[in-house]
Amino acid sequence: MKYKILILAITLLTFSCGKKDEPQNNTGKLKVGLVFDVGGRGDKSFNDAAYRGLEKAKQELGIEFEYIEPGPGADREAALRQFSNRKDISVIFGIGFIFTDEITKIALEYPDKKYACVDYTVDPAKTIPPNLVALEFREEEGSFLVGAIAGLLTKSNKVGFVGGMESPLIKKFQVSYEAGVKHVNPKCEVLIGYAGVTGDAFKNPGKGKELALGQYSEGVDIIYHASGVTGLGVFEAAREVKKFAIGVDSDQNDEAPGIVITSMIKVVDVSVYEIIKEVKDGTFKGGRVENFGLKSKGVDYVYSEKNRHLIPDEVHKRVETIRQEIIEGKISIPVK
Amino acid sequence: MDEIFVIAFTFQTLRITIPYLLPSIGGVYSEKGGVVNIALEGILLMGAFFTTLGTHISGNIYTGLLFGMAAGLLTALIHAYITITLKSNQIVSGIALNILALGLTKFLCKIVFNSSSNSARIIGLETLDLPFNPFLLVCLIVLGVSYYSIYKTRFGLRLRAVGENPEAADSLGICVSRMRYAGVLISGLLGGLGSAWLAFNQHSYTDGMTAGRGYIALAAMIIGKWNPLGAAAACLLFGLAESFTLQFQDSAIPTQFIQMLPYVLTIIVLAGFIGKATPPAADGIPFEKKD
């Protein structure tokens, strides 16, 4: 009986990893494999943005795709390897900075496959493999702008930040957000909280909620989160105490309408789509860093009919001026 | 340290304590009867998923609660069947169930919500009306009832008897396996209840959202010397430590150091303050009836 249950458990675990060993398809369609970051599908944020890129490519370019939502730990490399070993899959994406080391290693091992990594941490001392594209986003520029919005809108002169895993990437969000707040409102205080020091900190909404409730109880009235699924807890907290939050990566307005003032968006969907298009058109070139900033609208903040009523005109004007100044290089944004 | 902060801190501690306390008391029932219930983690995970599922389908938290408790009960029933009726090793069964729960919840989440990581948003419970928080009330009732039932009733006496000396209890005509089933099933119910709070508080299900709470509940039970009141105190201690890590992050002390504190605290308490924790004598040993 014990063994039966163990076998059943193992079977289910294997299934749940999203593995589909279908016989190879001979339709000749381009097939893409994508491995999600810690938060996984349904995070309404980063990973879902990547998924939208896949969907768009499927509809407009007629490609096929498969994805894996890895569990904690070493699953990531196994997932990349699993796709790399498949004959029918030619392009493989890793979503998130956490893939940096693994995808570099795997790309070198499988030189005939093409790879792209969103949020790849570029190390100037190392060369990027010729079959890998590093997709880098200037989160600091977008975070600076939403920081300015928070600094202009706060009534209590106290705003907050909730980060997922304490890491250089998320620190970048935090530091530039703080700089944005102080740029428009030097007297404003910024409270900071992190959900943890491991990847799991991106999928802990319970903790996100408690962190946010803590900050709100200390007088904070706007919290910016950069924490994946954990941020959904921040929205729950904001909903309960009727205060405000700022979303990240995707337009998160729909998660808590009227509460999410704006979102710092990264066009992860566009970047995924563009890479697939390049492969399809035969123009894919690896070994490079593709940069997305304010100038190319690779990062931005949301200002649409859904949230326009939350941002007064004079605030919007001021922020647009700052945007110009950043693009022209008049403002230097700290990242550490 | 103003008044508002102290109140917020206290409430936060209580909120965090709830999902430790209920399964921990469940663990006391199970182990007092002589069955080690490592499966608590799996029970919590199943409970949280099915609470979310029930609420999602019906749009009503009571149905969700019912689903969650039923899932906890069912998982516990499997554990009871394997360990009591089939007399298998209790640790092996518990770990197998935890792995099963991990896979099964992912699998079902994928089917229902098209993502193996996250569910859709559910209604859940608002948490800030805490003095009237129904779950806090439930905790207090469970605490009182469990203490009374384990130490002051015939049921409790029998439960403890089959956990301490099943042969003697059997010779006096007590049905050992029935008592043990009762203990394990109660732990399943309480586990389901605790995990329902997790799902309601978070308004969703996230893969692996119990994050080892079942194990911490077991640790609290041991620190509390297999006594509901002691277990509750230990849970409160864990809640306090966790709340501390959340509230004092934004200070000069490095976060990594603060996040280490609950674990250090556990070691100190285990090593220094509680003295020898003695489990029920027949805890973990399957009972073979001799004719």
Tell me whether residue A240 is in a domain: yes
Cβ-defined contact of B115 to A69 (cutoff 8 Å): yes
Cβ-defined contact of A214 to B8 (cutoff 8 Å): yes
Instruction: For chain B, list residues with pLDDT below 70.
Output: 1, 127-132, 250-251, 272-274, 291
CA separation for the pair A122, A149 (Å, rounded): 29
Q: Are residue A154 and residue A172 in the same domain, yes or no?
A: yes
- Which residues of chain B make contact with A39, given a CB cutoff of 8 A? 117-118
CATH at residue A59: 3.40.50.2300
Q: Are residue A115 and residue A190 in the same domain, yes or no?
A: no
Question: What amino acid occupies position A307?
Answer: N
Q: Are residue A249 and residue A277 in the same domain, yes or no?
A: no
The whole domain housing A214 covers 140-266+303-327
- Which residues of chain A make contact with B207, given a CB cutoff of 8 A? 40, 71, 203
Tell me whether residue A227 is in a domain: yes
Q: Would you tell me which residues 35-64 of chain B have a C-beta closer than 8 angstroms to some C-beta of chain A? A: none
Task: Give the per-residue pLDDT at A19.
Answer: 43
Q: Are residue A312 and residue A165 in the same domain, yes or no?
A: yes
Task: Give the per-residue pLDDT at A314.
Answer: 95
Asked which of A5-19, A305-319, B8-22, B209-223 is least confident by mean pLDDT, the reply is A5-19
User: What's the domain count of chain A?
Assistant: 2
Task: Give the per-residue pLDDT at A9.
Answer: 62
Tell me whether residue A298 is in a domain: no
Cβ-defined contact of A6 to B99 (cutoff 8 Å): yes
Task: Give yes or no for B207 touching A (CB within 8 A).
Answer: yes
Exposure string over B256-286, b if 16+ CB within 10 A, otherwise e: eebbeebeeebeebeeeeeeeeebbebbeeb
Measure the CA angle with vertex B187, ends B12 and B61; round to 5°.
55
- Which residues of chain B make contact with A207, given a CB cutoff of 8 A? 246
Tell me whether residue A235 is in a domain: yes
Q: What is the average per-residue pLDDT within A61-65?
A: 94
The tens digit of pLDDT for each residue in A172-226 reads: 999 999 999 999 999 999 999 999 888 888 988 999 999 999 999 889 999 999 9
ipTM of the complex: 0.84
Task: Give the per-residue pLDDT at B289.
Answer: 80
Q: Are residue A146 and residue A128 in the same domain, yes or no?
A: no
Q: Are residue A145 and residue A194 in the same domain, yes or no?
A: yes
Q: Are residue A98 and residue A193 in the same domain, yes or no?
A: no
The tens digit of pLDDT for each residue in A263-279 reads: 999 999 999 999 999 99
Q: What is the average per-residue pLDDT within A238-242?
A: 93
Q: Are residue A160 and residue A110 in the same domain, yes or no?
A: no
Task: Give the per-residue pLDDT at A316.
Answer: 96
Task: Give yes or no for B246 touching A (CB within 8 A).
Answer: yes
**Dihedral over alpha carbons B98, A165, A42, A149 (to 10 degrees):** 150
- Which residues of chain B make contact with A40, given a CB cutoff of 8 A? 115-118, 207
Tell me whether residue A309 is in a domain: yes
**Of A213, A230, A234, A255, which to mutate for an interface test with B (greatest number of B Cβ within 10 Å)?**
A213
Task: Give the per-residue pLDDT at A45.
Answer: 87
Q: Are residue A88 and residue A235 in the same domain, yes or no?
A: no
The DSSP secondary structure of chain B, one letter per residue, reads --HHHHHHHHHHHHHHHHHHHHHHHHHHHHHHTT---TTHHHHHHHHHHHHHHHHHHHS-HHHHHHHHHHHHHHHHHHHHIIIIIS---HHHHHHHHHHHHHHHHHHHHHHHHS-SSB---------S-GGG-HHHHHHHHHHHHHHHHHHHSHHHHHHHHHHH-HHHHHHTT--HHHHHHHHHHHHHHHHHHHHHHHHHHHTS-BTTTTTTHHHHHHHHHHHTTT-HHHHHHHHHHHHHHHHHHHHTTTSSS-HHHHHHHHHHHHHHIIIIIS------TTTT-------
- Return the structure tokens found at A333: 């944004």
Tell me whether residue A122 is in a domain: yes
- Which residues of chain B make contact with A192, given a CB cutoff of 8 A? 249-250
CA separation for the pair A131, A109 (Å, rounded): 11
Measure the CA angle with vertex A75, ends A73 and A76; round to 5°.
95
The tens digit of pLDDT for each residue in A66-90 reads: 999 887 666 889 999 999 999 999 9
Q: Are residue A34 and residue A126 in the same domain, yes or no?
A: yes
Q: Are residue A187 and residue A249 in the same domain, yes or no?
A: yes
A-chain residue closest to B104, CA distance: A12
What residue segments make up the domains of chain B, in order of their start?
A: 18-224
Tell me whether residue A4 is in a domain: no
pLDDT band at A22 (very low <50, low <70, confident <90, very high): very low
Q: Are residue A133 and residue A279 in the same domain, yes or no?
A: yes
Task: Give the per-residue pLDDT at B230.
Answer: 93
Task: Give yes or no for B155 touching A (CB within 8 A).
Answer: no
Tell me whether residue A5 is in a domain: no
Cβ-defined contact of A2 to B82 (cutoff 8 Å): yes
Asked which of A21-25, A245-249, B263-267 is least confident by mean pLDDT, the reply is A21-25
